[in-house]
Structure 1
């Protein structure tokens, strides 16, 4: 069996409530002031997307118009990643770049939904009225018209990424698996370069309604999720990473930002007491290996009560310095693991950890050099993920 190859992160594209790009995020992370909207979607907390000039990465207005907001966020972040890696516009490399995307199923038309709900109560034959709406406003292909792989399609059209393409659905686990598959293919030698990531638009009432119906939506006021796990503070964000074999990167003169040393996905039997804690602790131990020197944990915890409380127990027991990604940018569902990995890679490339956030009791000062970052992500109702990012000197 051939030896597993290293996998480098050679490009990062990141947009969130803190801004766009690595410099803006590093500055905001060190300032320690989350951007939160507690009134626009009252009574719920949302981390809104920073003001973005989409024209700089999606120049055609026609392309922008046919995309839903989450697709624009993802396509924009993908463009930033390609720029960061130095392969934007390189048709030869982009033609061989594989793409693995984590995405949801599209967004509802809130105006149409509201009009139908208002009018249907007045109809003598509600079923006939609804069928008429399905043929016009709602469309018989409501879901098929909003396929999750439209994000990958738009990235391909706008940026020319035309290698193999895969799209994963399935909440937080899809983000973990999107990166895991890209990583595994490069490590195994079946791919040389891949664009992996996802995007999420939190500023939409349909998803907030779904969270609210499950008693999972985070109500104002904002509070740190590891200290006070009483709901999911959703955040608009997009993150894409360019993963590359060292041989391919060296051949084109590219320098790595960090090394992705592993990513693991599990699914604990959550009906059993202690299952989340046992699964997550085992995954962290496997990622840690024999040393904890220069290592920190970046948590992508959702804020959902049971799983986040379990995650917090494991993080505290680890004895490692902890930082909550969700407290800074909110929770981006499918995009959360790519976002957390982007921030982890940024941190290890800087060689230090950003300061603890006021009020987050698990976060302690850490002044030593940062060599490794473990990323943890426990899904709001299923799925556990862990990744290891290491500094390259």
Structure 2
């Protein structure tokens, strides 16, 4: 079986389009969460991507292309440029594996609220598979072009499936990640109705999301896209490519308990599967980019799952949730957080767990503090994605 290398990173997210600048902002604890949609009856905050489609599309090309697909095209294009990988690959040997939880929200919003005439390209604009299809057309990809829609685990699952395809030789190159763009009134109102979004006082939106803190109250939505380029380590070395990290293992499971309430046993099964597939023990993994949604129940369940698997080694596992700063990208969360985890390994520096002044005793973890971010011995790290519907996905990366 081939070893799977990460050779390209591309992002279009709340902290911009440069992976290094994104990581630096997270290291500084800079929040991208801001007030949004002042017309809503209840105050709302989210982390929007500062994205101008004019850099990627002509006005004519934008017809029928929802923001979710625009972001995907930009991030995938940047990842391919970073990898410098496509020149000698048969288009039939390239695959796209994309996660998208809810599809083109802007297109649906326009159709529902925009007046008597529904835009004729609404259907192809909002279908969840549109981002992957647009990326395929942009790069002439003729191999498998697949979309995974598994709520908050969508893009983590997509990356794992891409790694399997590279590992067994089904494709030579995989463009793997996800995209989500949901900051429209209808979607925000729906999330407010679920009572999962963080509360905040006026002027305190930036620090509203407080993973694992005693005063946590939920998450903020984020939007954006992130893609990794995966190929065999042998191919990467042969062409002299930079290898950021290797994707050494992955694990999936289903709680099969409740549609929205997470389950520690289910999450534990995914964690164990990732360790098993990588051939590692818990003590070998030094960092966890947690799912960490800052919800009252979710953070405790994730802590309990980690404790059950890591046991006596739990205190050696450094943990942070970067959702405090970039928001929850839902279907694209796994991809963005995987990219951040790869950079943490590559730089041996850990992004801090922001806005947590007092850790909830029920969430007792070795959280990364802003004064303790160096990780000179870091060799392996995981990224957790735990979704509505009970699907759990864990990606395990090793330092190249």
State TM-score, norm by structure 1: 0.84
Provide the aligned C-alpha RMSD in A: 2.7
Q: 1:74-129, CA deviations, whole angstroms, 9 ceiling, x for partnerless residues?
A: 110001110111136x374555211111123322443553466xxxxxxxxxxxxx
1:267 to 254, 265, 278: 254
CA spacing shift, 1:96–1:223, aligned 2, 3 Å: same
Q: Which residue does 1:126 correspond to in 2?
A: none
Q: Which residue does 1:378 correspond to in 2?
A: 386
Moved more, 155-164 or 173-182: 155-164
CA spacing shift, 1:287–1:64, aligned 2, 3 Å: same
Q: 1:216-259, CA deviations, whole angstroms, 9 ceiling, x for partnerless residues?
A: 23333413133255333110121011110122223322121100
Structure label with greater radius of gyration: 1
CA spacing shift, 1:229–1:162, aligned 2, 3 Å: farther
**Aligned-pair distance for 1:334?**
0.8
Q: Which residue does 1:110 correspond to in 2?
A: 109
Q: Which residue does 2:136 correspond to in 1?
A: 156
Moved more, 254-263 or 361-370: 361-370
1:296 to 264, 287, 300: 287
Moved more, 181-190 or 141-150: 141-150
1:137 maps onto 2:108 in alignment: no
**Number of equivalences:** 366
Q: 1:164-222, CA deviations, whole angstroms, 9 ceiling, x for partnerless residues?
A: 21112231232222112111111122222111111111321221122123222333341
Contact 1:95 1:160 in 2 (8 A): no
Q: Distance in 1 between matches of 2:297 and 2:21?
A: 33
1:368 maps onto 2:365 in alignment: no
Contact 1:302 1:378 in 2 (8 A): no
* Matches for 1:1-393 after TM superposition, within 5 Å: 4-40=1-37, 43-49=43-49, 51-56=50-55, 58-87=56-85, 90=87, 92-103=89-100, 104-107=102-105, 108-114=107-113, 136-137=117-118, 143=123, 146-220=126-200, 221=205, 222-227=208-213, 228-271=215-258, 276-288=263-275, 289-290=280-281, 292-293=283-284, 295-315=286-306, 318-319=314-315, 320-359=317-356, 361=359, 362=365, 363-364=367-368, 365-369=372-376, 370-392=378-400
Q: Distance in 1 between matches of 2:233 and 2:157?
A: 22
Matched residue of 1:162: which SS? Answer: coil
Q: Distance in 2 between matches of 1:211 and 1:186?
A: 37
Matched residue of 2:35: which SS? Answer: coil
**Aligned-pair distance for 1:353?**
1.5
| Runs of 4+ with deviation above 6 angstroms | none
Matched residue of 1:9: which SS? Answer: strand
State TM-score, norm by structure 2: 0.82
Moved more, 344-353 or 360-369: 360-369
Contact 1:176 1:263 in 2 (8 A): no
Unaligned runs of 5+ in 1: 117-132
CA spacing shift, 1:85–1:95, aligned 2, 3 Å: farther
Contact 1:91 1:160 in 2 (8 A): no
Q: 1:6-33, CA deviations, whole angstroms, 9 ceiling, x for partnerless residues?
A: 1111111112211212121121022112
CA spacing shift, 1:355–1:223, aligned 2, 3 Å: closer
Matched residue of 2:283: which SS? Answer: coil
Matched residue of 2:141: which SS? Answer: coil
Unaligned runs of 5+ in 2: 360-364
CA spacing shift, 1:177–1:355, aligned 2, 3 Å: closer
**Aligned-pair distance for 1:145?**
5.5
Q: 1:327-382, CA deviations, whole angstroms, 9 ceiling, x for partnerless residues?
A: 12111111111111100011101122234424263523353322211111221453
Matched residue of 2:146: which SS? Answer: strand
CA spacing shift, 1:283–1:98, aligned 2, 3 Å: same
